[in-house]
A and B are shown apart, each in its own frame.
Chain A
């Protein structure tokens, strides 16, 4: 009895702390739109490199700067520079100026040195630049920055400033390469650190939730759980994530392959679900998950159980991370955008590993906490294992829900009702009335919720948090008919030639165009087809639009060219093109959009 009470208190405390953390995280999440101070959004360094001045702007993620607003002038008499030379940037459409060149991440400017002062070793420069934040859509006032730049003065009295002697040339060369490396390192680490924090934020989203029961299940599988060994198991589990993400990052950085194709493939999801179901069955006590005995003897040393468990944890971590990718892909794309742009597999790997580590921080903490949380042994441990088994099944259902065809509410309903009766049976032998009634109350709630889910499932509902939503919508439907069966008249294209032909035609007839990047394996695309694109209001809003569906289901040269042509990472992406043929770049969307979000954007894109 004391055991019961103690563990109830512990579980309750722990879950409340978790929930309050989540509440705080959402609070900070909401404030994420907070804009950076201008010196962090647009950081600038300048130095002399041989016969030219180099100005390096490093631009924070989501921010960009305008080419035409860059300028530099010398505040030191005797120092003069030629015209600025710009790197190739991104062309944006501006309603007033037409094509405008902007830079994301980095802008590396050079200016030829016309002359340097004959004495001293420093010059003062005034550097101008101006930029904006893309997602929020706000601009910073034009920046004027003063910077002092070192230069190597002529070593001999006779040498002219421009004809620098060989020795100092070498020094400058050395100085430059050092400077450029540190600069690269800086931005490299800033991406990695940013990815780590994005990971931590992600761990408070439903994406990481299914990980928690899986991890707890592994921890509960130990013979003698201790705080330390549970924590180590959690580390193994997270290490599994990190390895998978590092590989994914390498692939993305190298070729920007269709990573989502693997993450969102029904085969991967099916595979992971079956693994989870097996895990749940083993937790129910049917058998013990163990490595094959031959492998076990090969790998194991003195402590066979703990080592094979660590390997199990690592493997399960690797497997389950495959699915989390499906859930967070739009954010993943943001995190890895830099690596893709730079085509740098090392950066890709580093960014993705940092993201995985960030997501794992909570899990590792949980692992060390779990040793304290879980009862040591005895019959209670068996009950805890069974409850974890239910939670793992829940995780499997949640993951299966990524596939649109799966009627998840039936599964949820079965799980909840089963679990409810299990809780009731737990309560029977209890001596304390308070605890007994608490358990029964919980079991009744579960059974009712399960029943509601069953009703919702009949009406084609999907969401376990709102099981009866579909019933409500269903009744509106029969009354007013908010959705229609007719498909939107999309023109399917698979090559750039087909796309340009349609775009030209639309331009000629002054028709706006919607381009939807679609693939069979893209679950969000399918979901949009099923929900948003069946809404009558959406059909009406898109009435005079030319609709293009860019199908990139099969990865080949054509699909790669198509993505490159529209400058899109991959599906789901929705582009809005004006009647004059220019794209509304600011309205471009990645990811799933519901009816309201979609209509708001169509409204903004209206000619």
Chain B
């Protein structure tokens, strides 16, 4: 091998190394677009009377809003909801709200909500839910899925899987 070739090889290796490191460190997931979710007219159901109506996420946005997709058949979803309830009760006064979007119908969901003592608003998207998930960057329709929105409905963060308390605390201290 000539010296020229060696230098060439070495420079390729350096480039590969730098690119490798750069790609590795700069990897951040692109945030989703929530416009479809914001405007969707979803079903509501009064927890006591069972009266049905419609509402949208847009209409319920607070200073900081966590939209949580869940379903009764999803154990991890139900596991994290008591934490959401606690955080909602503690920080509602600071402008934080949680909206649960159930990929389910009110009659199946209500017993669960009652037993977990959930008081934050729930919207129902039994039939349109999967499409909504796809439009907000969750093509496989996996649950639980949570989006953190600012007061204009821009996505600040998104979590597939359970959200832990530390993360919510970090959100609250960063955005409120």
Contacts and interface: CB of A to CB of B under 8 A. Distances in A.
A352 interface: no
A141 B134 CA distance: 12
Interface string A1-36: 000001001101100110111111011001000010
* Chain A interface helix/strand/loop/mixed: helix
Given A26-B24, A27-B20, A603-B165, A139 B77 contact: yes
Contacts of A6: 6
A139 B74 contact: yes
Interface in B40-82: 71, 73-79
A426 to B, nearest CB: 21
Interface size class of B (residues with CB under 8 A): 35 or more
B168 interface: no
Interface in A571-607: 586, 600, 603-604
Contact of A96 (B16, B20, B78, B140): B78
A429 interface: no
B162 A137 contact: yes
Contacts of B143: 138-139, 141
A13 B74 contact: no
A166 interface: no
B161 interface: yes
Nearest to B13: A16
A126 B36 CA distance: 32
B6 A9 contact: yes
B24 A27 contact: yes
B23 A27 contact: yes
A27 B76 CA distance: 27
A69 interface: yes
A334 B20 CA distance: 28
A137 B162 CA distance: 6
Contacts, number: 106
Given A23-B21, A96-B115, A142 B73 contact: yes
A597 B48 CA distance: 41
A12 B21 CA distance: 17
Place the interface of chain A in its size category: 35 or more
Nearest to B7: A9
B130 interface: yes
Contact of A138 (B7, B21, B24, B144): B144
A139 B19 contact: no
A130 interface: yes
A459 interface: no
Contact of A132 (B74, B115, B160): B74
A22 B20 CA distance: 8
Contact of A23 (B17, B71, B76, B116): B17
B40 to A, nearest CB: 18
B9 interface: yes
Nearest to B17: A20
Contacts of A20: 13, 16-17, 19-21
Residue of B73, B112, B144 with highest tally of chain A CB at under 10 A:
B73
B142 A139 contact: yes
B10 interface: yes
A137 B83 CA distance: 15
A141 B77 CA distance: 12
A17 B73 contact: no
Which of A9, A92, A136, A141: most chain B Cβ within 10 A? A141
Given A19-B20, A139-B144, 12 more contacts: A9-B7, A13-B13, A23-B17, A35-B142, A95-B79, A132-B76, A137-B76, A139-B71, A139-B73, A140-B141, A586-B76, A604-B165
